[in-house]
Structure 1
Amino acid sequence: MGSKLRVAFFGLTVVLGTISFSHEIGNNPRNLTSARQAKVFSLFNVVSFNNGPCTSSSSVGSGTNGNRNGTCYTSDECTQRGGSPSGNCAAGFGVCCVFYLSSGGSTSQNCSYLRNDNFPSGLSGSSGQSYTINKCSCDVCYLRLDFLTFSILGMADNEEVMGGMCVDTLKITSSSNEPIPEICGQISGQHIYVDMDQGCSGNAKLDFSFTGTASTRIFEIKATQIKCGSRSTPPDGCLQYHTELDGRIQTFNYAPTDETHLPNQEYAICIRQELGYCCVEYTVCPDDVPLGFTLGVLEPEMAKHDSDCESVDFVGIEGSSSACRQSGTPAMLYSKYCGDKLNDFTEGKLHVPICDCTPPFLVRIYTNMFSDKSIAADPNTKPSRGVCLEYVQIPCN
């Protein structure tokens, strides 16, 4: 009699072929030969494995550590779905399939890389490009966009004389109608969360518009879909979400050149509070102190806060001060900071750490359409680069 044996190992399911045994061997050589042949398995008639995430052999490069992520498929499945095999997975029975979209298009793959045509070289033309990400399953609620490499033309004027306008633009929309500010310039290393709404038909769109010809345009954006209720899901209203004990926050187009911050920005950067931590401390990035905080500059070399920041660009940190007060009488608390020094002392001329002990922890970025220069009593003669802050969570007492 025959039977099939199903064996599971390394996440694989292998169905072995029919196994037959002879019980009447005796001394007949022919019977011995038949027995040996019967004991040979017809292995790997069927091999199945989960189409889960995998790490490819394709390096991200561009100063970013690590390799691109993919999905584990058979070689044929990868080709049929339009992916690119890059390394093995499932103990060698599958390939790590990486999905790229170049020059626009649409995809419903869980992890995809949106790139300009001619990547890793600069964009070859100046025509606009549009990308659509459809949900890979009904239980997806968010899309995370990681700007691995992103350089398109930025502001027309780096001193914000006329309030500034983007030469190129990236406009992101979704089926949830969540308001997302337009982006341009240098965004490498940043990320954005996009609400894809509930239901099965949700999607997100990225529309690029370019003005004139430039050889410096280049981008690669990793698009990862996130299930509803996942620990990685951001709170409502958070365009960016940081989940580490410490990290760095920057406004868009904050670059090592004389670029200026973007106009018409209004969004929240949220920090996930970890167990046993009660405060977050913010400091101006130490490697960029001269221009690390230049937002809504009313008077050069001076700090402003709260009512002074009502009609200008500002950073919002609700219920904060230069003192971490977790118990006892609270210090005077502030909610807005502007100028070119981060300080809760009016007209302070030095950067000081600002502490927030009133969760949820978030930083609001607000910029208007007007220039710092036009409203300054003493004209702002240096680029308003925006804000670079380092944060660290402080343990509870």
Structure 2
Amino acid sequence: MMSVSLMLAWTSVAASATPFFVSHPYYSYFYLPYRHYDTTGSLWNPNAETFQLEAESSDIEGRTPVRKVFADHSSGNSASEIEGRISASLRNAFPNLAASISSPLTSLFANPALLTLGLLDGTSCTSPNAEAGICANSRLCSSYGGRSSGSCNSFGSVCCINTVTRCGATVTLNNTYWQAPTTLSAESTCSLSIKLDPTLAEQRRHPICQIRLDFEAFSIAGPNTQTVCATDNFRVSGTANRIPIICGQNVGQHMYLIAPSSTADIQLIFTLGTGTAQDRSWKIRTSLLACSSTSLLAPDDCLQYFTQSTGTVRSFNWREVSPSAAGQRQLNNQDYNICFRTEQIINTNSFPRVSSSICYTPCVITTTAVAPQMPPLAFSLTGDSSGSFYLAGAGAGTNFNQCPNTDYIVIHGAVDSAAPNNFNDRFCGNNLNPSALQTSVTLCSTAKPFNILYRTDGSESNAEFANNGFCLRYEQRAS
């Protein structure tokens, strides 16, 4: 019924002396008018020359999104001008777009009513093979470099998968994958720009506050013996939060980037050096998170944010292997918060309760021991891990400086789950233990919000060698 009504509306408009697209702001071709009603409850008046859009906002961990009010001014009645604005917007959204797009747009403009039916819905979707995409018309998807995979509930929409496979591209679209080019030369830089602009059609209804990066593939050269990413590295610029430089193997890791303002260009940059046989590859999913998506946004001071009641948290470049004498696993200058959303827990009586504590246990290592670290350790921060076990403990007895101000994690209010009288906040060594012992224990904390602070200094000293970082299993519990 809705489609019939819209088509009839188009027929009526087409018969009028003034073309439909002349009096409509260009973004209306992608979305039905948003929150625009007059005092009588009627839909937005298309003849209004100017108007304002007020984005929905909410406080998130004490922060109010920076984007409040946006304005659009219809600058003219020229169809070519409007078409040009859409062309530029879509070329940004679909970086693999061909050089000339006049032909597809000409045919699309022939029937503006279809554009209001969701050519660029923008809703997130998942393809049958578990890839993330957005809902869009199949013709638009293929015309602008995307790949149709599965369908959406929107009228005539498919799940459009968009992948960028070149350096220097700019993306503006949610759920875009950035994949390494097939050929990468040494001594080079490969970058991607993420453009955030609430005047773009694809971001107008849902201004962006954060970007989540998911590393579905990530393999570049690791750090040197001083834990410095000296050959290859990955860095991010243009964000409101500090992002550490990383390298090595980071499949399955993620980061949250905080947008600094309503309009910003955020850069993802790989710098590749020489002198390594390492195969470089990556596939990074870029999720643009709207300010209104309160359940998905991370607190501002969190680089990583886990939204399940159980899971695994690891330092960057951690792997279930021993670090070698030539290449460490731990990375230098890591200084960030890892946060965990408080979840509801279903107990044995199937009664949901909000979790009251979170517990951490070192991961189980199953690989064969290889020198210099024997056996491989799920937790090793500070000290020489190539020989005997370096004692754990963040303040055993009266010595509260057992973990020096170099490499450590902080878990506020952590206690030994089996011995509540053993507690502390700072942890290092080869074992996760609040006491100076050669065994790891399960640590639990009731301090909220749940988080871990991870810090490493500029490089390893002679007394610090073969550290792996950490891999911890976490579980939220309800008392």
**SS across alignment from 1:132:** strand
Flag as ranges the 4+ runs of structure 1 deviating above 6 A: none
Give the letter aligned to residue 152 of structure 1. I
Give the 3-state SS of the residue equivalent to 1:77 in structure 2.
Answer: helix
User: Alignment partner for residue 53 of structure 1, among 124, 130, 148?
Assistant: 124
Offset at residue 317 of structure 1 (A)? 0.6
Conserved 8 A contact 2:320-2:365: no
RMSD: 2.8
Q: Which has the higher contact order (CA 8 A, sep 6+)?
A: 1
Separation in structure 1 between the aligned mates of residue 418 and residue 194 of structure 2, nearest angstrom: 43
Given residue 53 of structure 1, which amino acid in structure 2 is its aligned partner? S
Matched, 1:170 2:234: yes
For residues 217 and 194 of structure 1, the distance between their equivalents in structure 2, rounded to whole angstroms, comes to 23
Instruction: Tell me the distance in 1 between the aligned counterparts of 2:339 and 2:114.
Output: 47
Q: Between the two proteins, what is the percent identity of the paired residues?
A: 28
Q: 1:209-264 CA distances to partner (integer Å, 9 max, x unpaired)?
A: 00126461110000001112421111121000001111101000002333411111
Q: Counterparts of 1:222-371 in structure 2 under 5 Å?
A: 222-229=285-292, 230-257=294-321, 258=323, 259-275=328-344, 276-287=354-365, 290-297=376-383, 300-301=388-389, 302-306=391-395, 307-323=401-417, 331=421, 333-346=423-436, 348-371=437-460
How far 1:80 sits from its partner (Å)? 4.4
Query: 1:185 pairs with 245, 248, 253, which one?
Result: 248
CA distance in 1, matches of 2:423, 2:393: 14
AA matched with 1:96:
C
Go from structure 1 to structure 2 and tell me whether the alpha carbon gap of 1:298 and 1:256 turns closer, same or farther (over 3 Å shift).
closer
Q: 1:53, 1:231 → 2: CA distance?
A: 15
- Out of 187, 192, 195, the position equivalent to 1:131 is 192
Distance change (3 Å), C-alpha of 1:139 and 1:371: same
Work out the CA distance in 1 between the residues paired with 2:343 and 2:122: 32
Return closer, same or farther for 1:318/1:215 CA change in 2, 3 Å cut-off: closer
Question: Structure 1: which amino acid aligns with 2:431?
Answer: K
**Scaled by the length of structure 1, what TM-score is found?**
0.77
The answer to whether the aligner puts 1:109 opposite 2:173 as a matched pair is yes
- The equivalences for 1:29-178 within 5 A come to 46=114, 48-49=117-118, 50-57=121-128, 59=129, 67-90=130-153, 93-104=156-167, 105-118=169-182, 123-126=183-186, 127-135=188-196, 136-137=203-204, 139-157=207-225, 162-176=226-240, 178=241
The corresponding residue for 1:375 is 463
Call closer, same or farther: CA 1:367–1:86 in 2, change over 3 Å: same
- Bigger radius of gyration among the two: 1
Q: 1:206 aligns with which of 253, 268, 276?
A: 268
Q: Could you say which structure has the higher strand fraction?
A: 1
User: Structure 1 pair 270/81, CA: closer, same or farther in 2 (3 Å)?
Assistant: same
**8 Å CA contact 2:304, 2:337 repeated in 1:** yes
Q: CA deviation at 1:394?
A: 1.3
TM-score by length of 2: 0.64
Contact 2:133 2:160 in 1 (8 A): yes
Inter-partner Cα distance in structure 2 for 1:165 and 1:243: 30
* Paired residues of 1:343 and 1:351 also in contact (CA < 8 A): yes
SS at match of 1:339: coil
Query: Helix, strand or coil for the counterpart of 1:78?
Result: helix
Partner of 2:475: 392
Aligned to 1:31: none
The structure with the largest helix share of the pair is: 2
The SS at the match of 1:321 is strand
What is the total number of aligned residue pairs between the two structures? 334
Q: 1:38 maps to what in 2?
A: none
The answer as to whether partners of 1:324 and 1:356 remain within 8 angstroms in 2 is no
Amino acid at match of 2:472: L
**Aligned-residue offset at 1:156:** 2.4
What CA distance in whole angstroms lies between the structure 1 residues aligned with 2:406 and 2:278?
A: 35
Structure 2 CA distance for aligned equivalents of residues 96 and 355 of structure 1: 42
Q: Which runs of 5+ in 2 are unaligned?
A: 11-112, 197-202, 345-353, 367-374, 396-400
Distance in 1, matches of 2:468 and 2:463, equals 17
Distance 1:80 1:252 in 2: 38
Q: Which amino acid aligns with 2:264?
A: G
